[in-house]
């Protein structure tokens, strides 16, 4: 039996686009004499559709789309992910389903059993879990058809009581097909392979695994669909961060597995910076394309964060579609302008300069009757940031350029940012990168030649909102700060655990208090492109007025 894997970039709710892509791949698989073509989880609607699933019209359009696709499955079978309606009154209205289509009709529907409700996942909000277990059959082969999380209960500390494969294996299937929507983080591809290998070894079956690729707002899918033999050897790994397609005869899994696996051993996972670079450029590109935008605007300060975002946006959208704006104040250093100009020259980008000095002084004059003789403090500092934010939003409104935010994760974590100022933006590009990771990514970008000027990378970080200001005036050293933040945010360690690992008690309590008391700022922040296992936004839900650690 010849099986085709179709790894595609879908668009949530864009039924015409998604249906067209699926039908095109069905035709391609037919031309390649495939017997079965496999698509990803919720391919018809794209993932995650979220509360669109609560609209009866959305549910109806999903079913209309899958029925339209079925007409094209003549002489070939297909497995396609789609939300389907629960025919009984009990439970949730929908299932997360895989439709098995043959001879122009939906022959059977397999529903997802294990519904994740952690991090960015909230599937039990919408779907009823499966309770019936049957393999599907094609050309004399039994297929254990599973959906994403259904294969993840083989870990040493399983999250679920029941395992779908423990039921399906009773029917003695010949192979496993898993359709997935497995989001990217820089460690996840390695973990995903380990889970698939564990299933292959435990059940002694080859696996055909199909993932999404592309970004849906903050969630990025990296692709990496896999064919694995019963010994857990990778027979074929599809591309990362690109659409891809591959056909394999199941007979070759047995006959040529060892030779193909040996060839695939040369394919290694990319380094962390390379993975992050690919993810962020894809995230920017898809956000703009799927929202119908073309051009971006951003503030270019002469610092490392705005330099990195400028480069990523340039690579994702093209130099002609980027407008970096320099907005110096009386506290800005001369080298900040020089460094920004050098960066733009390296990238071939036109830049603009708007001085905020006079505007700032006008604001101070207007506020003088109220501020009186009170000393200069954070109010005057933040005023500069808000003026810059207002100017950038004005350019966004006038020309339709989407404002890209340049705040990093370290700043967002401890509240080192100004609401309605440098926290403005339609999309946060590096809000899931700690400051130390920003430098790591810049070093990767400069690995062959200097693109980001060296002075930007070596000078002390500063917001330049008062004379001689440095980030270190208000924050711990980033090398220490980021490690404490990672332990608290990604690893969910409490203060006692972090202090016990060797960090100063007063410092840890100070950092964690800053994180918790600034939750209100993050609730008003732009969507953050997710590259870690715990990003701010959809996957991290914290109370604003909680007392813990305050």
Q: Which of 403, 457, 410, 401 is nearest to 431 (CA)?
A: 410
89 with 207, same domain? yes
308 with 211, same domain? no
Residue 41 is among the residues annotated as catalytic for this protein: yes
82 with 194, same domain? yes
Summarize pLDDT for 497-524 with one digit per residue, the tens: 999 999 999 999 999 999 999 999 999 9
Domain residues for the domain of 300 are 274-469
Residue 314 is among the residues annotated as catalytic for this protein: no
CA distance linking residue 383 with residue 321, whole number of Å: 29
Asked if residue 535 is part of any domain, the answer here is no
CA distance linking residue 442 with residue 178, whole number of Å: 37
Summarize pLDDT for 4-53 with one digit per residue, the tens: 999 999 999 999 999 999 999 999 999 999 999 999 999 999 999 999 99
Phi, psi of 271 (to 5 degrees): -70, 160
pLDDT of residue 260 exceeding 70, the answer is no
Among 469, 499, 516, where does a domain finish?
469
Is 0.85 surpassed by the pTM of this model?
yes
221 with 306, same domain? no
160 with 224, same domain? yes
Asked if residue 536 is part of any domain, the answer here is no
Asked if residue 489 is part of any domain, the answer here is no
Asked if residue 225 is part of any domain, the answer here is yes
CATH number, residue 229: 3.60.110.10
> pLDDT-derived band of residue 468, with 50, 70 and 90 as boundaries?
confident
Asked if residue 150 is part of any domain, the answer here is yes
209 with 289, same domain? no
Catalytic, out of 41, 128, 218, 437? 41
232 with 361, same domain? no
Q: Report which DSSP code applies to 249.
A: E
CATH number, residue 357: 3.40.50.620
285 with 182, same domain? no
The answer to which of 112-116, 200-204, 436-440, 464-468 has the lowest mean pLDDT is: 464-468
Catalytic, out of 2, 112, 409, 435? 112
243 with 361, same domain? no
Summarize pLDDT for 520-533 with one digit per residue, the tens: 999 999 999 999 99
pLDDT of residue 98 exceeding 80, the answer is yes
Asked if residue 540 is part of any domain, the answer here is no
Catalytic, out of 135, 148, 344, 424? 148
Characterize 521-532 residue by residue with b for buried, 16 or more Cβ atoms within 10 angstroms of its Cβ, and e for exposed.
bbeebbbbbbbb
**What mean pLDDT is predicted for residues 229-252?**
95
282 with 257, same domain? no
User: Whole-angstrom distance between the N-terminal and C-terminal Cα of the chain?
Assistant: 61
DSSP codes joined into one string, 401-431: PEEEE---HHHHHHT-S-TTTTT--SEESST
Number of domains in the chain: 2
Cβ contact 363:330 at 8 Å: no
Asked if residue 251 is part of any domain, the answer here is yes
Q: What is the percent of the chain with per-residue pLDDT over 90, rounded to a whole number?
A: 87
């Amino acid at each position: 039996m010849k099986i085709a894997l179709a790894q595609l970039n879908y668009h949530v709710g864009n039924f015409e686009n998604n249906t067209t892509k699926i039908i095109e791949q069905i035709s391609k698989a037919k031309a390649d004499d495939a017997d079965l073509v496999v698509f990803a989880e919720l391919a018809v609607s794209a993932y995650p559709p979220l509360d669109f699933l609560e609209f009866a019209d959305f549910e109806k359009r999903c079913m209309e789309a899958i029925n339209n696709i079925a007409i094209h499955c003549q002489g070939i079978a297909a497995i396609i992910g789609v939300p389907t309606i629960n025919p009984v009154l009990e439970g949730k209205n929908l299932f997360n389903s895989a439709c098995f289509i043959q001879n122009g009709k939906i022959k059977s529907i397999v529903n997802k059993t294990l519904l994740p409700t952690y991090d960015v996942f909230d599937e039990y909000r919408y779907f009823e879990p499966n309770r019936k277990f049957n393999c599907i059959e094609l050309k004399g082969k039994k297929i254990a058809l599973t959906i994403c999380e259904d294969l993840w209960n083989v870990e040493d500390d399983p999250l679920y009581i029941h395992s779908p494969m423990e039921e399906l294996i009773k029917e003695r299937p010949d192979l496993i097909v898993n359709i997935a929507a497995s989001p990217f983080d820089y460690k996840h591809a390695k973990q995903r392979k380990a889970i698939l290998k564990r299933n292959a070894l435990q059940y002694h079956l080859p696996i055909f695994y199909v993932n999404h690729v592309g970004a849906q707002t903050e969630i990025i899918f990296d692709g990496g669909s896999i064919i694995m033999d019963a010994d857990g050897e990778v027979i074929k790994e599809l591309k990362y961060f690109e659409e891809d397609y591959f056909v394999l005869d199941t007979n070759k899994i047995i006959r040529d597995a060892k030779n193909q696996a040996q060839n695939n051993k040369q394919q290694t996972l990319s380094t962390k910076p390379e993975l992050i670079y690919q993810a962020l450029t894809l995230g920017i590109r898809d956000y703009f394309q799927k929202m119908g935008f073309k051009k971006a605007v951003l503030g270019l300060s002469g610092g490392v964060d705005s330099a990195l975002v400028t480069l990523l946006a340039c690579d994702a959208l093209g130099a002609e579609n980027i407008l970096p704006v320099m907005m110096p104040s009386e506290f800005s250093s001369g080298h900040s302008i020089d460094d920004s100009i050098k960066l733009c020259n390296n990238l071939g980008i036109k830049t603009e300069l708007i001085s905020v000095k006079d505007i700032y002084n006008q604001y101070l004059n207007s506020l003088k009757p109220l501020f009186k003789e009170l000393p200069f403090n954070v109010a005057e500092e933040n005023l500069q940031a808000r003026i810059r934010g207002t100017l950038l939003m004005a350019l966004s409104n006038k020309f339709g350029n989407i404002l890209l935010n340049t705040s990093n994760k370290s700043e967002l974590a401890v509240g080192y940012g100004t609401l309605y100022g440098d926290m403005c933006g339609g999309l946060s590009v590096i809000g899931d990168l700690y400051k130390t990771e920003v430098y790591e990514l810049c070093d990767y970008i400069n690995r062959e030649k200097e693109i980001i000027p060296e002075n930007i990378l070596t000078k002390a970080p500063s917001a330049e909102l008062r004379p001689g200001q440095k980030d270190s005036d208000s924050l711990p050293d980033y090398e220490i700060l980021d490690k404490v933040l990672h332990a608290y945010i990604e690893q969910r360690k409490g203060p006692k655990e972090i202090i016990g690992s060797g960090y100063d008690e007063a410092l840890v309590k100070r950092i964690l208090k800053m994180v918790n008391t600034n939750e209100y700022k993050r609730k008003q922040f732009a969507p953050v492109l997710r590259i870690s296992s715990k990003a701010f936004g959809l996957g991290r839900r914290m109370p604003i007025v909680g007392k813990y650690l305050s």
